[in-house]
């Protein structure tokens, strides 16, 4: 479990990351995952720790499979959280192929996507 300060908890927080547009928003995806990122602007506190949320739909599988995917992703992002800039919100959306992927495949996919969405020089 991620500490509370590192979690997106309210629906409006997810909406801001997923539906927002502009230079403070980025998105990258592949066959396993889609990572949405929203960066703190000048009027928001960039000293806030990074926060992460997960979206795993029923298309991925039943509840057991979905929860397994979320647990794997949560453990993978916890290892990489120190590399995410302060004030950044991430939403990681699992696609149906993530159900059959190993943790190593999910980790490699997550690393590639984070390198794409995070500002240059961070990762």
User: Which pLDDT does position 62 carry in this prediction?
Assistant: 97
The model's pLDDT over 66-122, given as tens digits with 9 standing for 90+, comes to: 999 999 999 999 999 999 998 899 999 999 999 999 999 999 999 999 999 998 755
Q: Are 90 and 82 in contact (CB under 8 A)?
A: no
On whether the CB atoms of residues 81 and 52 are closer than 8 A, the answer is yes
| pLDDT tens-digit series, residues 4-15 | 999 999 999 999
- Spatial neighbors of 2 by CB under 8 A, at least 6 apart, are 52, 74, 77, 78, 81
Report how far residue 18's alpha carbon sits from residue 14's, in angstroms, rounded to the nearest whole number: 6
d(CA 98, CA 32): 5
Boundaries of every domain in the chain: 4-117
At 48 the pLDDT is: 85
CA distances from 24 to 42, 61, 85 (A): 10, 32, 13
According to DSSP, the residues that pair with 7 across neighbouring strands are: 52
**What architecture (CATH level 2) is domain 4-117?**
2-Layer Sandwich (3.30)
Higher per-residue confidence, 22 vs 75: 75
Residue 117 has what pLDDT? Answer: 94
If you average pLDDT over every residue of the chain, what do you get?
90
């Amino acid at each position: 479990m991620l500490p509370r300060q590192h979690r997106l908890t309210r629906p409006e927080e997810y909406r801001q990351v997923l539906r927002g547009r502009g230079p403070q928003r980025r998105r990258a995806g592949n066959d396993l995952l889609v990572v949405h990122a929203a960066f703190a602007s000048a009027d928001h506190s960039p000293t806030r720790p990074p926060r992460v949320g997960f979206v795993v739909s029923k298309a991925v599988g039943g509840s057991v499979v979905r929860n397994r995917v979320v647990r794997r992703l949560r453990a993978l992002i916890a290892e990489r959280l120190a590399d995410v800039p302060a004030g950044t919100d991430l939403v990681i959306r699992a696609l149906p192929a993530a159900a059959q992927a190993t943790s190593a495949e999910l980790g490699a996919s997550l690393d590639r996507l984070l390198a794409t969405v995070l500002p240059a020089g961070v990762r």
